[in-house]
Amino acid sequence: MKLPLHQQLRDEFRHRIETGEWAEGTPVPSEAQLCREFGASRGPVRQALAALRAEQVITGGRGKPPVVRAAVASQSVETFMSFTEWAESIGKEPGQRTVEIARREAGPLVAEQLLVSAGEPVVSLLRLRSLDGEPAMVERSHFVPEAGNPLFDFDTSSGSTFRFLLSVGVDLHSARHIIDAVAADAVDASLLGIPEGSPLLRERRVTFSTEGTPLEFADDRYRPELANFMVHNTLHGRAPVARVQSTRPPAPAAGQPSAGENP
């Protein structure tokens, strides 16, 4: 069955981008040029370009000429790596601006993730993270006091809190990640400069000590056009899929290491 013309054009335009014929960062030919080349009216050409915008393959619109978007940088969750280390590994300049750092009572969700009672004190940190100066991620972190208190002696707008906490002996040993999508709330929208309700890629993370004790619960929300996540696995090394209801490390099987230990 022959595809409608706008879908054929979409596939051809995508092919040109994937093969480098339309290089990253370069303007897409004008609608008039594409109409002449393919003998098409503006309607199908505009539909094809709109589809590529929706896929975030090209940028532009609302009076701005379309441009081929640079490839989205992938962040591996197989290696325990901070945002700063990841940004540096892909040749980007990491940045951060602290919106708030405070001691407060743990709400029900934070308490559940950190395995403490609701109302117990935690150290909460809200920061805007950037890549080469462009707002990229809103970071919400909550620490048990023994892990988070050192941050009050650190300028959290100056660099990596992960590196600092490691340098003062906080036992950040392993992490569990849950990745999903979420709509930007008012805080996300304001900090990232996007409309409220825009889709964001969310990474929720619990960081454990060597003994498997939860030390941090984080809710990091990324602009999906600037970052995504990569997981590498093999057929023989695959783990069963599970619905995560709690961040408590599972009890180890006989002869197996605990969740906070390297095999």
Q: How far is CA 147 from the centre of its chain?
A: 23
Lowest mean pLDDT among 9-13, 30-34, 57-61: 57-61
Mean pLDDT of 128-152: 96
Give the pLDDT score at 78.
Answer: 47
Question: What CA–CA distance (Å, rounded) separates 188 from 200?
Answer: 9
Per-residue pLDDT band for 203 (boundaries 50, 70, 90) equals very high
More confident residue, 204 or 255: 204
* CATH code of domain 73-230: 3.40.1410.10
Rounded to two decimals, the pTM is 0.63
Q: Is-same-fold flag (5-68; 73-230)?
A: no
pLDDT at 244 over 60: no
Q: Is 61 exposed, middle or buried (0-12, 13-18, 19+ CB in 10 A)?
A: exposed
Per-residue pLDDT band for 83 (boundaries 50, 70, 90) equals confident
Give the pLDDT score at 222.
Answer: 93
Q: Which two tokens stand for residue 105?
A: 């009572």
Give the pLDDT score at 257.
Answer: 38
Per-residue pLDDT band for 86 (boundaries 50, 70, 90) equals confident
* 47 contact partners, CB below 8 Å, separation of at least 6: 6, 9, 10
pLDDT at 263 over 50: no
Question: What CA–CA distance (Å, rounded) separates 188 from 194?
Answer: 8
Give the pLDDT score at 226.
Answer: 83
From residue 220, alpha-carbon distances to 9, 17, 136, 184, 205 in Å are: 37, 30, 10, 12, 8
Tens of pLDDT, residue by residue over 24-44, are 888 999 999 999 999 999 999
pLDDT at 232 over 50: yes
Question: Mean pLDDT for the chain?
Answer: 84
Question: Domain residue spans in the chain?
Answer: 5-68, 73-230
5-68 to CATH, choices 1.10.10.10, 3.40.50.300, 3.30.70.260, 1.20.120.80:
1.10.10.10
Place of tokens 């993370």: 205
